[in-house]
Chains A and B, each alone.
Chain A
Amino acid sequence: MSDDELATRMAAYQGGDMAAFEALYAALAPPLGRYLRALTRDRARAEDLLQETFLQLHRARRTYLPPRPVKPWAYAIARNVFLMARRAATRRGRHETLADDELPELPVPPEAESLGDRDAVRRALVHVPEDRREALVLHHVHGLSFREVGAVQGVSEGAAKLRAHRGMIELRARLGPPAEDP
């Protein structure tokens, strides 16, 4: 669904149209789910947070200002839900860590696919600092512009670009030179 279509559906949803909400859910739930999986690295937890994101999105639907793009608004809410959940978990003294042999749920940026097999890229991505990895994934996997990535992360467009760039450099460094064919 294009940005214009998303904005039109969002306006209809604000007008009380359930079908518009269903269309928005169909368009936004898969990418937001992938984004939350990239943040949490846990499929089940990402599912929970996705539902919480849509609940928050519903409660805060009047904060969407047409005709602004919907995606940065929705991703910023998802990010906030993740950060709040992480803080809540920290306050409860619950630290969730992945076992070493567990494959992290990270989407692989198309630009990084040539650097190695998908599993290797996923494992390398885990070691990229969170803010850089997030900028990298938002831009290269979710297709957000750097301006939109900055809006989601609460930083300037230049800072978002720098984070993604440094993330890609770090990813390349971790994967090393591509293996030569025998």
Chain B
Amino acid sequence: MSTPRIPDELRRAVAADLKPVRPLPAPWVRAAEVGVWAAAALLLVPALFGVRDDAAALGLLMTWGAGIAEVAAGLLVVAVAMAEGIPGGGLSPLRRGLALLGGVAVQVGVAVLTWMRAPAGGDAAAHGGASCFAMQGMLGLPALALAVWLLVRALPVRPRWAGALAGLGAGLVADGVWHLACPVCDLGHVLVWHGGATVAMTLAGFLLGALWERRRLSRLR
């Protein structure tokens, strides 16, 4: 069998850009880059806003423990998104769905456990839902931007899925951090405003993935 000849156009394109490249780090290593932001936020938010007023009643486990667990779950979902950036390296639809549902379950679980521990709730008037939504957005957007930047440096073959997972991960990181500062345990407040912020972040990731895909489509010959 004869050796296939490389078309001239392809040979020129490859030769023009043959600089050595380093393979991307493993997905969990790239997710750890988002973890740097999460760690900084975990230190800064309590320092700037103070730890929630009901921290003593909730205990260390339901304050710091739950917040850090949610951040860890968020980083795990970001790692799943990073795996989607490797062609042939993503998860099956079932596992992707489980990652999405698992992330949602962690946030709902933390909300319910916190509410059960302190059912009286905090001062909801002083911490209106919209301000929590905005704070979580501010905490989550840098994580989302970083995760999406890391994603598009790879080649996600299902960019909308990858974006949604990155958005959910960023949303969970933000909720885990803000859990340390928001003193409201009321389930309605947490599910609507905190959960809403995570949903918004997931949708933002999905849309960014769709935009990136659209851009790739328009560039295709």
Q: Which chain A residues have a beta carbon within 8 Å of chain B's beta carbons? A: 14-16, 18, 21-22, 25-26, 29-30, 33, 48, 51-52, 54-56, 58-66, 68, 72-73, 75-77, 79-80, 84-85, 87-88, 91, 148, 150-152, 154-156, 159
B50 within 8 A of A: no
Q: Is the CB of A61 within 8 A of B89?
A: no
Q: How far is the CA of A104 from the CA of B197 in the complex (A)?
A: 51
Q: Which residues of A contact B87 (CB under 8 A)?
A: 60, 63, 73, 76-77, 80
Could you name 30 residue pairs across A and B whose Cβ atoms are closer than 8 Å?
A14-B21, A14-B22, A15-B20, A18-B14, A25-B4, A26-B3, A30-B1, A51-B10, A56-B155, A58-B17, A61-B21, A62-B22, A63-B86, A63-B155, A64-B23, A66-B23, A73-B86, A73-B87, A73-B88, A75-B88, A76-B88, A77-B155, A77-B157, A88-B217, A88-B220, A151-B88, A154-B93, A154-B157, A154-B158, A156-B94
Taken together as a complex, chains A and B put the C-alpha atoms of A19 and B85 apart, in Å, by 27
Q: How large is the interface on B (under 10, 10 to 19, 20 to 34, 35 or more residues)?
A: 35 or more
Q: With A73-B88, A77-B155, A154-B158 given, is the CB distance from A65 to B26 under 8 Å? A: yes
For the residues of B in contact with A, the DSSP-based class is loop
Contact flags (1/0) for B116-150 with A, using CB distance below 8 Å?
A: 00000000000000000000000000000000000
